[in-house]
Chain A
Amino acid sequence: MNETIGTIIIIIGVLFDAIGCIGLVKLPDVYNRLQAATKCVTLGTCGIMFGIFIYSGFTSLGIKALVAIPLIFLTSPTAAHALARGAHLFGVKLWKKSVVDRYREDKESNQND
């Protein structure tokens, strides 16, 4: 029973990962791609981990998978944050149909001061 539920959760996790990858290919610029990559891949991977936990229960393997979930939730957004900031500081432009860029406006006004 647990094995069936675990397998189903793992499949759902893989589906979310797949959607994240489609987004990574399809969306226009670095920042939009990071959005898809962070959200879907984080929850997808955590889903896989949780599926492993359900599958194997309170064993050494299951607990390791469970401990990995909060670590992924803490590190993955931080990595996305660092990548987005680095890309912006390096001068990667937003997509041409973007509406507003307060970050660049503020940086330019700081340089003029």
Chain B
Amino acid sequence: MRRIVLFIIAFILWLLLTWTLNWQHLLVGVIVAIFVALLFGNMFVEEPRKFFQIKRYFWFLVYIPLFLWECLKANFDVAYRVLHPKMPIKPGIVKVKTGLKSEVARTMLANSITMTPGTLSVDIDGQYLYIHWIYVRATEVEEASRMIVSKFEPLLARIFD
């Protein structure tokens, strides 16, 4: 099951990368995708069933604009802090808590946190994430979690958990 899903994804990626429908390309693509599926199938996501739940794709489409908006804000934030002559930074590492269960969801949460204004995930330890914050506004776990994690958590739970 995992291998079939991985095969399909690898083959679609191959089609996009070559962007021709020549039968020679297709044949090589099928062979390469089979190899990839055999080699890396057991490292792939734990529950491939999730790929067939259409609802998740809908929430993913909701998530993309939010993510891009946060990413753009993050860029202007960095630009402001860098170009400001006094450099208004107050860095520190805080600890936040997440309720997400699956590994993929936590990875995506860490990535999203890295791309949002002023935060960079440093390490993850079970439920807790350590976040480097360029301008610390809350040092306690609950408040920092509310300020950093709560924007993405409900959406990511719908997509990946």
List residues of chain A with CB under 8 Å of any chain B CB: 16, 19-20, 22-23, 26-29, 31-32, 34-36, 38-40, 42-44, 59-60, 63-64, 66-67, 73-74, 77-78, 80-81, 84-85, 88, 94-95, 97-104, 106
User: Which applies to chain B's interface (DSSP): helix, strand, loop or mixed?
Assistant: mixed
Out of A39, A77, A99, name the residue touching B110 (CB < 8 Å).
A77
- The verdict on B127 contacting chain A, using a C-beta distance below 8 Å, is no
Tell whether, in the assembled complex, residue A27 and residue B122 are in contact, meaning their CB atoms are under 8 Å apart: no
- Between A and B, how many residue pairs show CB distances below 8 Å? 138
Task: Give the contact-size bracket for chain B.
Answer: 35 or more
Main SS at interface, chain A: helix
* Contact surface of B with A, Cβ cutoff 8 Å: 13, 16-20, 71-72, 74-75, 78-79, 81-83, 87, 89-95, 107, 110-111, 114-115, 118-123, 125, 130, 132, 134, 136, 139
Q: Which residues of B contact A66 (CB under 8 A)?
A: 16
Find out whether the CB atom of B90 lies under 8 angstroms from the CB atom of A99.
Answer: yes
